[in-house]
Amino acid sequence: MSGYRYDLPFSIMDVAGILNLRIRRRGTRSVYTDCPLCGDTRGKMNLNLEKNQFRCNYCQAGGGAIGLYASVYGVSNSDAYREICEILYGNTSPQECKMIAAKERQIALPESAELASVFDRSQTYEIMLSQLTLTRTHLEKLKQRGLSEEMIQRAGYKSTPAFGFDSLADTLLSKGCVVEGIPGFYQKNNGKWSLHFTSRCSGILIPFRNIAGLIQAFQIRLDKPFIDEKGHETKYIWFSSVDERMGVSSGSPAHFVGNPCDETVFATEGALKADVAHFLSGRTFAATAGAGNVEPFRELFSLLKANGTQNIYETHDMDKYKNVHVRAGALKLHNLIAEMGLQTKIMNWDKNYKGIDDFLLSKHRNEG
């Protein structure tokens, strides 16, 4: 219960209330509001409820609860503190303010769980997958990417369930599965365990496996991608329960598919892309969730190096020659590979094919 060491008699939300900040989005651990400092009206200001801090993702202003009030009114921190207490508690003594606040905060934040071991996660997830199905539409989508039904089964893709989350959790518990600390699982207020699937986030579950083939986490390939504030399309989200009671974050692990002792490994972004490329080429692939996200490769590459891997090919999408984010990600990857004492190689192909999977699929079809 981290949040309670905080000893101010008010929270960042109390200050948000005084400042009458407009709340745009609400999670259990953070809230997004308009920024009173730069005048943003798109909900760029993040209020962290655990740390009682604010940060505007637009003007970069940040600080604590007192600092927020002080910045808005242009007063000193000590004046801000006194004024906030006066507004919230009237003429009550500072000591009494703290006691009232401590009482109120007993019910503040939901407790979170600690991430379970990869063995427990994988076991629960494998049994969860055995209880789920793959819809015909999803099967066809995967086949269009070049996968056979046998490959699809081996990779373990399933459709997210549309209902019956509580009974799925019950079934897993009755089979002896660990549910506490498994990303995506959380406890409801009545004490029952459930899974954090929603109709808005329906799609295909894509397992992220480690070098031993164990499932560490899932991404969901969304049926209906989101458009974020920057206008970017979000096709994948993590299966996570981070904002829920006794829930936990999936983190952002790397995915591995192929031979753990291969001399040459190909690195790309996206687990599904890596799977498709592996199944079509027979080569070994590693992937992270995004081109800019190379840090999760560090642990995987060190295991591979110990196993005898010498070369890592960077096979990011060909838009690395146009897209600055992909190019920056490719560069970070080159640096990491070099830093780890491995040979880094770039693989290019016909620019008409965006991803390594698209290119291999065209080759596969021409040969077949």
Interface residues with Zn ion (CB under 5 A) are: 35, 37-38, 40, 56, 58-59
Strand blocks (E) in the chain: 23-26, 30-33, 45-48, 53-56, 62-64, 158-159, 185-187, 193-195, 203-209, 215-227, 233-238, 255-257, 264-269, 284-288, 311-314, 343-346
Of 59 and 72, nearer to Zn ion (C-beta) is 59
Q: Which is nearer to Zn ion, 37 or 331 (CB)?
A: 37
Residues contacting 208, CB < 8 A, separation 6+: 215, 216, 217, 218, 219, 253, 254, 255, 271, 289
Q: Shortest distance, CB of residue 49 to Zn ion, whole angstroms?
A: 19
Of 35 and 330, CB closest to Zn ion? 35
CB of 58 to Zn ion, least distance (A): 5
Structure tokens at 166: 């509580």
Closest CB to Zn ion among residues 43, 329: 43
Q: Which residue, 40 or 79, has its beta carbon nearer to Zn ion?
A: 40
Question: Quick one: tokens of 139?
Answer: 């099967």
φ/ψ bin of 164: left (φ > 0), alpha (ψ from -120 to 50), beta (otherwise): left
Which amino acid, residue 229? E
To Zn ion, the closest distance from the beta carbon of 37 in angstroms equals: 5
Cβ proximity to Zn ion, 37 vs 109, nearer residue: 37
Q: How many other C-beta atoms are found inside a 10 Å radius of the C-beta of residue 191?
A: 8
Write down the residue that tokens 């609860």 correspond to.
65
What are the b/e assignments for 255-267, b being 16+ CB within 10 Å? bbbbebebeebbb
Nearer to Zn ion, 43 or 207 (CB): 43
Nearer to Zn ion, 38 or 178 (CB): 38
Let me know the angle formed at the C-alpha of 230 by 226 and 233, rounded to the nearest 5 degrees. 30
Kindly tell me which of 61 and 115 has the beta carbon lying closer to Zn ion. 61
Strands 185-187 and 193-195: antiparallel
Bridge partners of 236?
221
Q: Which is nearer to Zn ion, 58 or 353 (CB)?
A: 58
Q: CB of residue 42 vs Zn ion: minimum separation in angstroms?
A: 10
What's the rounded Cα separation, in Å, for the pair 219 and 239?
Answer: 6
| CB 268 within 8 Å of CB 277 | yes
Strand-by-strand arrangement of the 23-26 sheet: 23-26, 30-33, 45-48, 53-56, 62-64
Q: Give least dist CB 45 to Zn ion, A.
A: 6
Closest separation in Å from C-beta 51 to Zn ion: 18
* Smallest separation, CB 68 to Zn ion (Å): 11
Residue 138 CB, nearest approach to Zn ion (Å): 41
Q: How far is the CB of 34 from Zn ion (least distance, A)?
A: 9
Q: Shortest distance, CB of residue 228 to Zn ion, whole angstroms?
A: 18
Which has the closest alpha carbon to 307: 212, 216, 215, 213? 212
